[in-house]
Structure 1
Amino acid sequence: MLVRDLERALFDRFPAQDAESWDHVGLSVGDPEAAVTGVAVALDATERNVRAAADRGANVLLTHHPVYIKAPDAFTPADAMRPSSSAAIYTAARLGVSILSFHTNLDRSHEVRELLPSLVGMQAASSLEYPGDPTARGLGSICTCAPRTLGELAAACAGAFGGAPRVWGDPDVAVERVAFLGGSLGSFGEDAMRWDAQAIVCGEGGYHVCQDLAIRGCGVILLGHDRSEDPFAAILMNAAISAGVDDAVLHRIGLPHQWWTVSTKEQERS
């Protein structure tokens, strides 16, 4: 299998036309005619992960997040005055690692829609982007569930995704209609409100957006952008195997500890 064959197979599964117009998906650096000797799967296309892929004998780094949205103006070794993508691309080219990324086109897949709610025992009815059409590929998920409190839902999310989510809303309020969205909430809180969601689980959201949603009766559970999307690596691994990559040369690169929180009794309900 060549790099271009793997890219084509993954685009068949996650069509490029499903990506946002601003997004950068597919091959960003590497030789499309190179034979695939190994594939490492990670959330991010960082220099650290490029080196980790090479250390494992993989000449393809398959990621959810692209190495860049807008290409940097130069590709150089790590330099505090340049974006980190400069060093990631420089190192990938030097080590012969091709970077393939499937971002918002993967976000719109049925596989992502179903995966996030399934981690807390829920089943997606349709996407948050197209709630009236269960067959359409779209961002996010909407679910109905047996009544549980927002606090119970948040605890289930903490267990499933790890970490300590930040939660907006009354922990004792009952929720039965829940929306899920990997990554940034953006304007999708309004879609959740139109669907009468009582809670939305996502990666991150702006202060005023979350405050407004909570006041209007929709709790918000913020998992952390990376924690909300790290499960997508399993989808990419399965897709690579389906494309013909031998699982003996398929490697998973886990999340680094790139941020942390401080918690005290006084800070738990700020």
Structure 2
Amino acid sequence: MVVRLKEVIGALEVAYPTDLAESWDAVGLVCGDPESVVQRVLFCVDPVEATVDEAVDFGAQLVVSHHPLLLRGVHGVPADDPKGRIVHRLIRSGIGLYCAHTNADSAVQGVSDALAEAIGLTVTGPLVPHAEGARTGLGRVGELSETEPFHEFVRRVAHNLPTTAWGVRGAGDPDRPIRTVAVCGGAGDSYLATAAAAGVDAYVTADLRHHPAGEHLARAAVPGAEVPALVDVAHWASEWPWCQQAADTVAAALPDTVEVLVSTRRTDPWTVHAGAASDPGRALA
């Protein structure tokens, strides 16, 4: 059976409807002929040189990425520009590129569902629903099967996500009991107050900044106030579990017709980590 690119797109857009994308986002087919035949599809977080290399080696006719290649307006894609070079190489190699970004974030069984599943949570609903009672929306709230101390929970997150130089960081009482958890794949510090309002014990996301995290934790000093402990992971690592979910979605929609591969190239930009709590460098009083 011949499968065309437009059929793969159809399966993706059933799972991740484009009308769920944020207004500022750029999702959909970036390059490629909808009528072209697709036999192999590579799934990745970032459409970069390393994942294009992997797609070429795999013999793929389509790359499905989470992050857009061309998020902001462009006036050209010359081959001597980093992004233009990727477009030229994809086209020369006969490979299409499709991006599912914030629509995959908000869809039922989307990016945060995959993150929640990876760390062993049973999802109970979205953190930021699109409407009251809606199943779609950003982030997820879930529960562990058993309560565990925060320091063990941080280790759980680190064990179940791919290793990065960024690592996994926890902020909060190491012995605090953790049972209910909010997660948000990608940068989620804009939802710190939402996670606190949800009454969860911990919040797992990426790219947490110093001041928002510090101000969030300081609210715990207010009598009667309680805020979730924080777990900060690498942006790429928080979204990588979605790649397998998306690959499984396409494989199930087009059984025995399309071969899928989840990228194993670590495209997190950070490559070196130095220092730890046991070796903090210059001692301070």
Q: Does the TM-score normalized on the shorter chain lie above 0.5?
A: yes
Q: TM-score, normalised by structure 2?
A: 0.85
Separation in 2 of the partners of 1:239 and 1:17?
19
Separation in 1 of the partners of 2:12 and 2:130?
26
Provide, for residues 147-190 of structure 1, a one-character-per-residue CA deviation record: whole Å limited to 9, x for no partner. 32221110100101133302222222223331111000131111
Question: Percent identity, aligned pairs only?
Answer: 24
Separation in 2 of the partners of 1:131 and 1:73?
33
1:30 aligns with 32
Residue of structure 2 aligned with 1:240, choices 225, 250, 255: 250
Alignment of 1:1-270 (within 5 A): 1-77=3-79, 79=80, 82=81, 84-112=82-110, 113-130=112-129, 135-145=134-144, 146-163=146-163, 164-216=167-219, 217-244=227-254, 246=256, 249-256=259-266, 258-260=269-271, 261-264=273-276, 265-267=278-280
Check the 8 A contact 2:38/2:258 in 1, yes or no: no
State the shift of 1:247 in Å.
6.7
The alignment partner of 2:204 has SS state of: strand
Separation in 1 of the partners of 2:156 and 2:43?
26
Check the 8 A contact 1:23/1:103 in 2, yes or no: yes
Check the 8 A contact 1:169/1:219 in 2, yes or no: yes
Q: TM-score, normalised by structure 1?
A: 0.89
Check the 8 A contact 1:185/1:203 in 2, yes or no: yes
Task: Structure 2: state its 5+ residue gaps.
Answer: 220-226
State the shift of 1:192 in Å.
0.5
**Cα RMSD between the aligned structures?**
2.4
Distance 1:206 1:247, change over 3 A: farther
The aligned amino acid for 2:192 is G
The alignment partner of 2:42 has SS state of: strand
State the shift of 1:200 in Å.
0.5
Task: Structure 1: state its 5+ residue gaps.
Answer: none
The aligned amino acid for 2:260 is L
Distance 1:246 1:103, change over 3 A: farther
Separation in 1 of the partners of 2:114 and 2:213?
24
